[in-house]
């Protein structure tokens, strides 16, 4: 397993696209904060973690694209056949890919948050209050979880475009419809609370709201994220094990 992880790390560091992803990941966090500070004329800006994480949802979408495209690319280019020939089990490369993807996304998140914090405090008007710490942990868990989910979906569908499109359509379209329908139909509201895409944004609503009636708790949000990550990776591993190599 360690050799499989080493192979995935070497592959990741040898690709020029990796550094493009670093720019996209970190920029999605500190970029919106920079624009917020530049175009705000207030003499004093009191801000907590929500103000430093304006671009958090963009980061999550990039995490999905990264996990799906790197895994789906290997399958499309038949790189998995080489892994199957050189590693002891079929699951090694996929588990290594999922682990490396999660760590890579988490490191970029930490760097992006650090840069966002630095930008906020560099401006004379900026006054960081440290409020809303829940949101930091929400993205810290959600970002690698979404990357691993995308890895599992890519292994299951064996198609890069589908692995990117399916979770994005679910997050941007289906969950919105569930939220609207859930206002009148309790079953749809339950489905919405069990869907992964809105768990982190709902944590932001939890932070800024004083009335939590009808909201899913942050604890349930973390559980939903972890559960979806485990289930989708397990499905990807099963598909990777039983399907023919092409």
Higher pLDDT, 175 or 61: 61
Tokens 């670093």 belong to which residue?
22
Return contacts of 171-176, CB within 8 angstroms, 24+ apart: 171/61, 171/197, 171/198, 172/197
> Which whole number is the average pLDDT over 3-10?
72
Report the C-alpha gap between 135 and 132 in whole angstroms.
6
- Give the pLDDT score at 15: 81
Asked whether the beta carbons of 67 and 101 are under 8 A apart, the reply is: yes
Structure-model confidence comparison of residues 225 and 245, the more confident one: 225
pLDDT of residue 92: 75
Phi first, then psi: what are they for 43, rounded to 5°?
Answer: -75, -20
Please tell me the distance from the alpha carbon of residue 246 to that of residue 244, in angstroms, as a whole number: 6
Nearest to 222, CA basis, from 245, 197, 199, 198: 199
Instruction: Judge whether residue 112 has pLDDT over 60.
Output: yes
Distance between CA atoms of 185 and 38, rounded to whole angstroms? 44
- At 233, the pLDDT band (50, 70, 90 cuts) reads very high
pLDDT grade for 219, boundaries at 50, 70 and 90: confident
Least confident of 81-85, 105-109, 122-126, 192-196: 81-85
Cα 156 to Cα 22, 35, 120, 160, 241: the distances in Å are 26, 39, 41, 10, 10
Q: Is 150 left (phi over 0), alpha (psi -120 to 50) or beta?
A: alpha
H helix intervals, the chain? 2-14, 16-38, 49-52, 56-76, 79-86, 91-122, 133-157, 160-169, 175-181, 186-193, 199-208, 218-242
- What is the rounded CA–CA span in Å between residue 202 and residue 135? 9
According to the model, what pLDDT value does residue 82 have?
A: 57
Question: Comparing 28-32, 79-83, 193-197, 207-211, which segment has the lowest mean pLDDT?
Answer: 79-83
On the 0-12 / 13-18 / 19+ scale of CB atoms within 10 A, 90 is middle
3-state secondary structure of 152: helix
For the ranges 39-53, 138-152, 154-168, 228-242, the lowest mean pLDDT is seen at 39-53
The size of the chain, in residues, is 246
Identify which of 82-91, 109-118, 129-138 has the greatest average pLDDT. 109-118
Taking only the tens place, the pLDDT of each residue in 57-89 is: 999 999 999 998 888 777 776 666 555 556 566
Least confident of 108-117, 131-140, 144-153, 214-223: 214-223
Residue 178: pLDDT band (50, 70, 90) is: confident
């Amino acid at each position: 397993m360690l050799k499989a992880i080493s192979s995935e790390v070497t592959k990741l560091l040898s690709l020029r696209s990796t550094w493009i992803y670093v720019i996209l990941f970190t920029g999605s966090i500190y970029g919106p904060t920079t624009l917020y500070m530049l175009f705000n004329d207030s003499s004093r800006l009191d801000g907590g973690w929500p103000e430093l994480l304006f671009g958090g949802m963009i980061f999550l979408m990039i995490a999905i694209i990264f996990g799906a495209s790197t895994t789906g690319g290997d399958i499309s280019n038949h790189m998995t056949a080489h892994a199957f020939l050189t590693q002891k089990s079929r699951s090694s490369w996929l588990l290594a890919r999922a682990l490396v993807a999660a760590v890579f996304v988490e490191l970029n998140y930490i760097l992006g948050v650090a840069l966002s914090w630095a930008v906020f405090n560099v401006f004379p008007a900026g006054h960081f209050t440290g409020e809303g710490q829940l949101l930091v942990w929400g993205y810290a868990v959600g970002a690698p979880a979404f990357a691993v989910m995308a890895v599992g979906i890519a292994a299951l569908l064996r198609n890069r475009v589908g692995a990117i499109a399916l979770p994005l359509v679910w997050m941007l379209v289906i969950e919105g419809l569930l939220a609207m329908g859930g206002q009148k139909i309790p079953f749809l509201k339950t489905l919405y609370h069990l869907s992964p895409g809105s768990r982190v944004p709902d944590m932001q609503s939890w932070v800024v709201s004083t009335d939590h009636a009808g909201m899913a708790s942050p604890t349930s949000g973390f559980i939903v994220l972890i559960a979806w990550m485990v289930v989708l990776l397990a499905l990807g591993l099963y598909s990777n094990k039983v399907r023919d190599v092409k």
